Amino acid sequence: HSNREMWFQDFFPPNVCPINAKANTFYGIMFDAGSTGTRIHIYTFVQKSPENLPELEGEIFESVKPGLSAYADQPEKGAETVKRLLDMAIDAVPPHLWKKTPVVLKATAGLRLLSEEKAQALLLEVKEVFEESPFLVPEDSVSIMDGSYEGILAWITVNFLTGQLSGQNQHTVGTLDLGGASTQITFLPRFEETLKETPGDFLTSFEMFNSTYKLYTHSYLGFGLKAARLATLGALNMEAVDGQMFRSSCLPKQLEAEWHFGGVKYRYGGNKEGETGFKPCYLEVLKVVKGKLHQPDEIRGSSFYAFSYYYDRAVDTNLIDYEQGGVLEVRDFERKAKEVCDNMERYNSASPFLCMDLTYITALLKEGFGFRDNTLLQLTKKVNNIETSWTLGATFHLLQSLGITY
Ligand SMILES: O=c1[nH]cnc2c1ncn2[C@@H]1O[C@H](COP(=O)(O)OP(=O)(O)O)[C@@H](O)[C@H]1O
Ligand SMILES: [Ca+2]
């Protein structure tokens, strides 16, 4: 465009400027097939000038429950949930850009835990939905994501959104993601010592925005919040659970109920006769985490961004505001865990698992990763109105690999 054509840009905010909306806007569609739900993220980018990186302008986000793994035996029904979400993109993306807009789905721990055969059947049905859509379907558009990428891409998202990946003084922040079935920890080591003391498969080099980052990252499969509930109950990885009752001191004494996860039905309840409360619960949960995770010394003194179930449980117990998020210390989770677990009969919460969840989060942070009581956690759901999810990092990576950006 010549300068004459652009004169009116000064009068419009960028997103409604007519010339931007036409020539240099593009889209990327990323599906997150998580263990507890499937989500679509439709990102809008604007290329303001050919020599600069495109700017992220906005996001449309929608989610459905349960996740794909709940349709392990009905793959077509699972794919239908994806189709319903994809219909949103038909409305959101202008028709002349459909063919240029890539659509990708990445599945995480829910599908990792299924048998190869059932997982592949689900992915195949989703692939068919994509091929029938008017969008650009790249090779490998439907896959199970490697756990190390899950952490790296979330780290890219958070550090991009907080402005740490551009300009000179880069003070990147570490990230903690607690999903239903797995959990990730990711940070950029600052000390030589950390690199020396870390097992090789916890370190991954990654190139993004013309920089290479050597990150510490690991995904612990089976250590997500819901998998941890099963592990605490002694029901994780059980071949047959039919009719068996799983009891825990982390649950209300009189409770007896049923719970569906990953397509399996579990019966669970409280310790009718025995102990309940924080102390016995902590000991139970400790068995699940103690000695199972790598503890890098370097993280003890630093602060981390935390989201997903860390965020949700902090909201549930009024530790933070749902819209605002906030900064907590590790000990705040422990304080809440004690409060909830030692008053279970009086505590009228939405979930009977609240005590177990808070106790698990406390044990995971302290005994699992080795954080201190006063380690700071920045709880965030959105930065500048964009969800803190690995999906944005994955979309940058996708656009880069398609040559849409560099
Ligand atoms: O886009 C998002 N923004 C914020 N939170 C999200 C988003 N996607 C997933 N979550 C959170 O992730 C948690 C569920 O984990 P998920 O279902 O992804 O399990 P997984 O990561 O183990 O497969 C919930 O706390 C949910 O709120
Ligand atoms: Ca997730």
Known catalytic residue at 150: yes
- The DSSP annotation for 107-121 comes to E-HHHHTS-HHHHHH
**DSSP code for 53:** P
Alpha-carbon Rg for the chain, nearest whole angstrom, is 22
Q: Which residues of 152-179 are buried (b: 16+ CB within 10 A; e: fewer)?
A: bbbbbbbbbbbebbeeeeeebbbbbbbb
Residue 157 marked as a ligand binder: no
- Place 85 in a pLDDT band, splitting at 50, 70 and 90: very high
d(CA 100, CA 93): 10
Closest ligand 1 atom to the C-alpha of 183?
22
Alpha carbon 19 to its chain centroid, in Å, reads 35
List, for residues 119-139, the tens digit of each pLDDT value.
999 999 999 999 999 999 999
Select from 223, 229, 308 the residue to mutate for testing ligand 1; criterion: most ligand atoms less than 8 Å from CB: 308
Alpha carbon 152 to its chain centroid, in Å, reads 11
Percent of the chain with pLDDT over 90: 82
Instruction: Assign a CATH topology to domain 3-145.
Output: Nucleotidyltransferase; domain 5 (3.30.420)
Task: Give the mean model confidence (pLDDT) for residues 383-393.
Answer: 97
pLDDT at residue 172 is higher than 50? yes
Chain mean pLDDT for the chain: 92
Q: What is the pTM of this model?
A: 0.92
Helices then strands, each counted (H, E), the chain = 13, 17
Amino acid at the residue 135: F
pLDDT at residue 144 is higher than 60? yes
Give the CA distances from residue 143 to residues 83, 122, 348, 389, in Å, rounded to whole numbers and listed in that order. Answer: 16, 10, 41, 17
Residues paired with residue 55 on neighbouring β-strands, in sequence order: 46
Residue 181 marked as a ligand binder: yes
CA–centroid distance, 280 to ligand 1, in Å, is 29
Closest ligand 1 atom to the C-alpha of 226?
22
Tokens of 171: 């003070």
Task: Give the mean model confidence (pLDDT) for residues 1-8.
Answer: 43
Residue 183 marked as a ligand binder: yes
CA–centroid distance, 23 to ligand 1, in Å, is 34
CA–centroid distance, 398 to ligand 2, in Å, is 18
Residue 263 marked as a ligand binder: no
Cis peptide bond prior to 252, omega within 30° of 0: no
List, for residues 244-298, the tens digit of each pLDDT value.
999 999 999 999 999 887 778 899 999 999 999 999 999 999 999 999 999 999 9
pLDDT at residue 304 is higher than 60? yes
User: Token match 């996708």: residue?
Assistant: 398
Select from 31, 36, 175 the residue to mutate for testing ligand 1; criterion: most ligand atoms less than 8 Å from CB: 36
Number of C-beta neighbours around residue 80 at 10 A: 14
d(CA 327, CA 308): 15
Residue 182 marked as a ligand binder: yes
Q: Which residues of the chain does CATH 3.30.420.150 include?
A: 147-162+170-388
CA–centroid distance, 213 to ligand 1, in Å, is 25
Nearest ligand to the CA of 182 is 1
Closest CA to 348 of 225, 249, 252: 252
Closest CA to 281 of 366, 354, 330, 371: 354
Q: Which residues of the chain does CATH 3.30.420.40 include?
A: 3-145
Lowest-pLDDT choice from 13-27, 201-215, 288-302: 13-27
Kindly name the residue from 150, 284, 334, 387 that is annotated as catalytic: 150
Task: Give the mean model confidence (pLDDT) for residues 205-217.
Answer: 92
Give CATH for domain 147-162+170-388.
Answer: 3.30.420.150
- Place 240 in a pLDDT band, splitting at 50, 70 and 90: low
Amino acid at the residue 109: A
Give the CA distances from residue 181 to residues 36, 129, 218, 226, 266, in Å, rounded to whole numbers and listed in that order. Answer: 8, 26, 14, 6, 16
pLDDT at residue 403 is higher than 90? no
CA–centroid distance, 2 to ligand 2, in Å, is 45
Pocket lined around ligand 1, Cβ cut-off 6 Å = 32, 34-37, 39, 67, 108-110, 179-182, 224, 307-309, 312, 381, 387, 389
- Place 406 in a pLDDT band, splitting at 50, 70 and 90: low
Percent of the chain with pLDDT over 70: 93
Nearest ligand to the CA of 224 is 1
